[in-house]
Amino acid sequence: MKLLRYGPKGAEKPGMLDDGGAVRDLSGVVGDITGEMLNDASLDRVRALDVSTLPVVTSNPRIGACVGQVGKFICIGLNYADHAAESGMDLPAEPVIFFKATSAISGPNDSVEIPRSSTKTDWEVELGVVIGKEAKYVSEADALDYLAGYCVVNDVSERDFQLHRSGQWTKGKSADSFGPIGPWLVTRDEVPDPQNLSIYLEVNGHRHQDGSTRTMHFGVAAVVSHLSQFMSLQPGDVISTGTPPGVGMGQNPPVYMKPGDILELGIEGLGVQRQMVVAG
């Protein structure tokens, strides 16, 4: 299934994508796409519906973040060998963990805002995973069973804030609009191998990132298992698993976002995001 949320920011309704690409309204079935309904039993009930009986949404609405009420937005840094190299950093012995503020979450096609005083706002297309049931001390062998599904994430980053303004990376990762998620949450049964997905990002039609999740340093199962040793992962938590090479910081010379730029990014089977860059 491809689950989504649509409507004005803060007033999104739940929906799903039918086989013809139309949005179907789920608000008569579930209250929202949040952790409460991402367990296997609830997803099975939605999966059993006759989709043709659900109302078609015809108004071409805004698409919101595919998960609401996210409790934790966890990110993994330096998780592709070639991205670590372009960043001038060594591959880590364990996954590098940092957090984005949940207030950074936005819809997949909402504008990306360059923060005031920013000089180095950058892009990062990433595979996002969404937790479906509490995960605590889970093994790598069982880790994928704890997922509700997968989505596209743009881990927007301000490099000067991230690397030169003291402290951890959070300052450069958490501005409003720095966490577009979606367009939809694809349930795990439709992604048999999360380590074999093509992934790309373009700026103004030029492809900067063109990779595959095959080259992750730590795969999805390893990441989920590792995180669960240090904190419980709750339904609706989002994990962004790292970016392939081609970020703006890695260009020669570096290239960063400017107002008016158009970003397009996507992952095989998970949909496409399109964002205009604006001044914040």
User: In Å, what is the CA distance from 121 to each residue of 39, 104, 155, 201?
Assistant: 36, 14, 11, 15
Mean pLDDT, the chain, as a whole number? 95
pLDDT score of 82 more than 80 = no
Residue 202 pairs in a beta bridge with 207, 264
**What was the pLDDT predicted at 166?**
80
Residues 6+ apart with CB under 8 A from 241: 76, 79, 126, 127, 128, 129, 213, 216, 220, 223
Residues 6+ apart with CB under 8 A from 145: none
At residue 120, the 3 state secondary structure works out as coil
Q: Phi, psi (5° rounding) for residue 264?
A: -130, 130
The rounded distance, in Å, linking the Cα atoms of 98 and 86 is 20
Query: Residue 126's closest CA among 241, 6, 48?
Result: 241
User: In Å, what is the CA distance from 134 to each residue of 101, 102, 150?
Assistant: 21, 19, 16
Domains in the chain: ranges and CATH = 2-53 (no CATH), 73-279 (3.90.850.10)
Backbone angle region of 182, left / alpha / beta, with phi > 0 → left and psi within -120 to 50 → alpha: left
Give per-residue pLDDT as tens, 168-199.
788 999 999 999 999 999 999 999 999 999 99
DSSP state letters, 249-260: GGSSS-----TT
**What was the pLDDT predicted at 189?**
96
**What was the pLDDT predicted at 118?**
95
Q: How confident is the model at residue 13 (pLDDT cuts 50, 70, 90)?
A: very high
Q: Phi, psi (5° rounding) for residue 51?
A: -60, -30
pTM across the whole model:
0.96
The rounded distance, in Å, linking the Cα atoms of 203 and 182 is 18
Other residues' Cβ atoms within 10 Å of the Cβ of residue 103 = 13
Give per-residue pLDDT as tens, 196-243.
999 999 999 999 999 999 999 999 999 999 999 999 999 999 999 999
Other residues' Cβ atoms within 10 Å of the Cβ of residue 29 = 15
Average pLDDT over residues 73-88: 84
The rounded distance, in Å, linking the Cα atoms of 256 and 248 is 5
